[in-house]
Amino acid sequence: MPTATLEPADSIRAAGLRVTTQRLAVLGALENMPHADADAIHRRVRSTQPDISLQSVYVVLGALTDAGLLRRIEPAGSPARYERRIGDNHHHAICTGCGAVQDVDCAVGHAPCLTPAPPAPLPGTGTGTGAGTGDVAGFRITTAEVTYWGLCPACQHLPASHPDKKENA
């Protein structure tokens, strides 16, 4: 039994949290719509729990995120999104046209972004101080986040008719 496909109720319990219908509903919603934002999750959850409020969804999302059951990503210029895929250090490609988010496995295979210090040390000039393992500019790095910005396949074929998203170079 793969650990990642634990029953939602079990994973909630395993995290030391109480199992509630709201939390199950939120996890269930994210099962079908990865990278959804709070509002989308709220709409989806309301189909089974019409009385749940958006604020309660926020509370649930916060609790599940704190417990490590969800990962929260915050693309620049768009509301926070949540995903169930946790535990690996995958990255994200975000469409500047429609805002779609796609998981991207670290294709290089050895988490290069997590340990940016190359085998040969940097010349310690200017901003680049000598870096040890997991150290960047004197920082003790714990996480590296890579976001690719571009056009999704669908938007590549559109005549640039989605101006709702700003492109900051």
Partner DNA sequence: GCACTTGTTGTGAGTGATTCATAATAAGGA
Partner DNA sequence: TCCTTATTATGAATCACTCACAACAAGTGC
The binding site for a copy of itself (CB under 8 A) comprises 65, 68, 71-74, 76-77, 80, 86, 90-91, 93, 95-96, 102-109, 112-113, 116-118, 122, 127-128, 130-131, 133-134, 136-153, 156, 168-169
Q: Does 35 bind DNA (CB under 7 A)?
A: no
- Provide, rounded to whole angstroms, the least separation between the CB of residue 17 and DNA: 4
Q: Return d(Cα 142, Cα 121) in angstroms, integer.
A: 19
Question: Looking only at residues 119 through 138 of this chain, which bind DNA when binding is defined by CB under 7 A?
Answer: none
The separation between the first and the last C-alpha atoms of the chain, rounded to the nearest angstrom, is: 45
d(CA 103, CA 82): 12
| Dihedral sign of CA atoms 82, 69, 7, 17 in order | negative
H-helix or E-strand containing 99? none
Q: Which is nearer to a copy of itself, 46 or 72 (CB)?
A: 72
Radius of gyration of the chain (CA): 19
Three-class DSSP category at 155: helix
Residue 141, binding choice from a copy of itself, DNA, none, Cβ under 5 to 8 Å by partner class? a copy of itself
Q: Which does 159 bind (CB under 5 to 8 A by kind): DNA, a copy of itself, none?
A: none
User: Does 39 sit near DNA (CB under 7 A)?
Assistant: yes
The nearer residue to a copy of itself, 17 or 122, going by C-beta atoms, is 122
Region near DNA per CB under 7 A, out of 73-81, 87-95, 134-142, 149-157: 73-81
Single out the residue of 24, 15, 159, 38 nearest to residue 87, CA to CA.
Answer: 15
User: Is 169 in a helix, a strand, or coil?
Assistant: coil
| Interacting residues toward DNA by CB under 7 A | 13, 17-23, 37-39, 49, 51-56, 58-60, 62-63, 74, 79-80
